[in-house]
Amino acid sequence: MTEVISNLQDRFSPLPWHKDLWQTFNDCIDTQRLPHAIIVNALEGVGAEHLAHALAYRMLCSQVDKGVACGQCSGCLTLKAGSHPDFYRLSPEENSKYIRVDQIRALCESVVKTSQQGGWKVAIIYPAEAMNIAASNALLKSLEEPEPNTLIILVSSRLSAIPMTIRSRCQIESLGIPSAAIAQQWLSERLEDKQVNISELLDMANGQPLLALDYATGSGFENRQQVESLLDAMRNSDETPFAAAQACQKYTPEDLIAWILSYVHRLMVGELQNNLNPALFVFLDKLIKAREWLLSGSPLNTQLLWEELFIEWVQIFQARK
């Protein structure tokens, strides 16, 4: 997923479905009412991180044209090269799920210094919910006593996981799922040479264009199809929960849960026309709890978790026979 986002070459202009929010940002900039901290909240495949980067370019570009960074000036080029002295990007370091307090402290120390290029300083914190408690507390001070000409953009896909103390000091902007027409148009421009059914792809990605692009271009699509085949096989008693759980060990737990969730959603929508099996609601609830548990970073035996979920999955369909 992140791979696709970083491969989108044109990161200095917003994506088509960001238009309204982009206009809001430009209005704020034009009237000098840009808040010092913004949370951009959206499902991961909607491109909140992309939008945050486009805004960073916009703030650091010296030749903004019609509200969008030029992509050519020295500000844009140094940002593109990853060496802009007034741009900071904080994410969990390798092998960690968290943004640590010392990363935030280093950021706060840097932003109090005068900007090296004499303009704005921009920081992106992604994903913002990865800050642990100590990190959030360290950031609070910067939010309470904002530096002039400094913009902190927090990118989030789980707003509720960000402490209220942080949320209340930021302007919160949410990006919804784009209309199918806009998303399909954007995808068809990028997938011209691929033999894919774009509408089906977008359905699989629950309307999230970047996720759909990831399915079509990365290994995500194939992996997901394998998991859906496993779920089908278990429904037909052609595969045991134990073997399926073992086969699923190779996938990222977060991806796996998302794929199963999406499969169950589609199954439920399909079943609405017939008689919806109430056991599916119970199963869905367990999946959501499992996802919460995973995202909380708590230690987990995934083999046991998948076995438990798959045993339940098989039972739903056995009970109906």
Give the residues lining the site for Zn ion (CB under 5 A).
61, 63, 69-70, 73, 76
How far apart are CB 52 and Zn ion at their closest, in Å? 17
Within 10 angstroms of residue 7's Cβ, the number of other Cβ atoms is: 12
How far apart are CB 37 and Zn ion at their closest, in Å? 23
CB closer to Zn ion, 149 vs 302:
149
CB closer to Zn ion, 17 vs 57:
57
Question: 165: which residues sit within 8 A by CB, 6+ positions away?
Answer: 136, 140
How far apart are CB 61 and Zn ion at their closest, in Å? 3
How far apart are CB 144 and Zn ion at their closest, in Å? 32
CA dihedral 89, 93, 96, 99 (to 10 degrees): -40
Give the 3-state secondary structure of residue 225: helix
b/e map 88-101, b = 16+ CB within 10 Å: bbbbbeeeeebbbb
CB closer to Zn ion, 40 vs 56:
56
How far apart are CB 19 and Zn ion at their closest, in Å? 20
Residue nearest to Zn ion (CB): 61
CB closer to Zn ion, 29 vs 70:
70
Instruction: Please check whether residue 296 is in contact with residue 162, taking contact to mean a CB–CB distance below 8 angstroms.
Output: no
Question: 147: which residues sit within 8 A by CB, 6+ positions away?
Answer: 36, 111, 112, 121
CB closer to Zn ion, 37 vs 76:
76
CB closer to Zn ion, 42 vs 60:
60
Distance CA 70, CA 57 (A): 8
Distance CA 255, CA 261 (A): 10
How far apart are CB 84 and Zn ion at their closest, in Å? 11
What size, in residues, is the chain? 321
**What angle (nearest 5°) sits at the alpha carbon of residue 215, between those of residues 284 and 293?**
35
CB closer to Zn ion, 61 vs 267:
61
How far apart are CB 82 and Zn ion at their closest, in Å? 15
